[in-house]
Amino acid sequence: MPHPAIVKDNVAVITGGASGIGFAAAMAFARAGMKVCVADVDEARLAEAATKLSSVTSATHVMTFAVDVSRAESLMELERAVGAHYGGTDVLMNNAGIQPGSTLFGEPDHWQRIIGVNMWGIINGSRIFAPNMIARGRAGLIINTGSKQGITTPPGDPAYNVSKAGVKAFTEALQHELRNTSDCHITAHLLIPGFVFTGLTAKGRTEKPAGAWTPEQTVDFMLARLEAGDFYILCPDNDVPRALDEKRMLWAAGDIVENRPPLSRWHPDYADAFKRFVTGD
């Protein structure tokens, strides 16, 4: 049985929904008979997404909206528009994200944009949509797209890591708040994709690497884990066993407990210790 919020005639709103994981989710929700609002900053992609969605559902079940998730005012306009058009929201997927790359001492405007979209977009979306979703008095979902990099924080892209670490902390706090709110039937969930072949990760490649999942595979996995009731939806990779993901995350937490240097997994003095930790030797 699908999650009770993902049913015919319920309403799903997906930010960053015109491509990648967001669009795959929009297609899955549309095929389930839901009314879908795809929100994105790219108006040309929005038009293309609407055409594709209309091939699997009624055009009246498809809405698009141009939004800049880093601006609370823009998301307020989106929430009002969905309410006026469809009566409210049952599933909110805060999925919009960017990863242009970053350096620690790079331009502050660059950092502001990455954190504005990746972290504030999710904070804004959740805070603006949740009150009216709760007031509907029925089952609903808030799905926030995080990243494994927000947990293991590998070197090389600090602004992205900071933004996605913030998404994890915020979504945990959100679920705690929702479960302690009287008469609330909304739950929050943290989607943690692995290597997914999208425009964000293609980096000039035109063919999917063997190790990557498709956006559709990621959404299928997400839907199955939502049905199972998972909060942390940790997606595996084709070439990285889940057990290795778990070891990496446990090692990252162990840096604090063991008082190791930060990011010790990449520290030359701890390379052998990490290998032994992974293999159990």
Please give the torsion angle defined by the CA atoms of residues 179, 27, 76 and 127, in that order, rounded to the nearest 10 degrees.
20
The pLDDT, as a whole number, for residue 206 is 62
Task: List, edge to edge, every strand of the sheet that includes 186-192.
Answer: 62-66, 35-40, 11-15, 91-94, 140-145, 186-192, 232-234
Q: Which two tokens stand for residue 181?
A: 């709110």
Instruction: Provide the b/e sequence for 93-110 (b: ≥16 CB within 10 Å).
Output: bbbbbbbeebeeeeeeee
| Strands annotated E in the chain | 11-15, 35-40, 62-66, 91-94, 140-145, 186-192, 232-234
User: Within 13 Å, how many C-alpha atoms sit on residue 208's CB side?
Assistant: 15
Domain membership of residue 27 (yes or no) is: yes
Identify the CA nearest to 239 among candidates 197, 281, 271.
197
The pLDDT, as a whole number, for residue 212 is 80
Give me the CATH number covering residue 210: 3.40.50.720
Residue 15, strand partner residues: 39
**3-state SS assignment for residue 20:** helix
**3-state SS assignment for residue 36:** strand
Domain membership of residue 101 (yes or no) is: yes
Active-site residue, selected from the candidate residues 86, 160, 232, 270: 160
CA 136 from centroid of its chain's CA atoms: 24
Residues 232 and 248 placed together within one structural domain of the fold: no
Q: Which two tokens stand for residue 38?
A: 């795809």
Residues 130 and 260 placed together within one structural domain of the fold: no
Residues 231 and 249 placed together within one structural domain of the fold: no
Specify the DSSP class assigned to residue 113.
Answer: H
Taking residue 86's Cβ as centre, other Cβ atoms within 10 Å add up to: 21
Residues 152 and 263 placed together within one structural domain of the fold: no
270 noted as active-site residue: no
Q: In a 10 Å sphere around its CB, with 0-12 CB exposed, 13-18 middle and 19+ buried, how is residue 62 labelled?
A: buried
Q: How many domains does the chain have?
A: 2
The pLDDT, as a whole number, for residue 78 is 98
Mean pLDDT in consecutive groups of 10 residues from the start of the chain, 281 residues:
93 97 98 98 96 96 98 98 98 97 94 98 98 97 97 96 98 98 98 83 64 90 97 90 93 97 97 94 75
Residues 214 and 274 placed together within one structural domain of the fold: no
Identify the domain containing residue 17 by its residue range.
Answer: 11-239
Residues 108 and 155 placed together within one structural domain of the fold: yes
Domain membership of residue 6 (yes or no) is: no
Identify the CA nearest to 143 among candidates 118, 122, 114.
122
The pLDDT, as a whole number, for residue 59 is 94
| CA 71/CA 218 separation, integer angstroms | 28
The pLDDT, as a whole number, for residue 93 is 98
Q: In a 10 Å sphere around its CB, with 0-12 CB exposed, 13-18 middle and 19+ buried, how is residue 55 labelled?
A: exposed
Domain membership of residue 228 (yes or no) is: yes
Residues 175 and 263 placed together within one structural domain of the fold: no
The pLDDT, as a whole number, for residue 281 is 75
The pLDDT, as a whole number, for residue 237 is 85
Residues 36 and 61 placed together within one structural domain of the fold: yes
Residues 6+ apart with CB under 8 A from 105: none
Residues 266 and 235 placed together within one structural domain of the fold: no
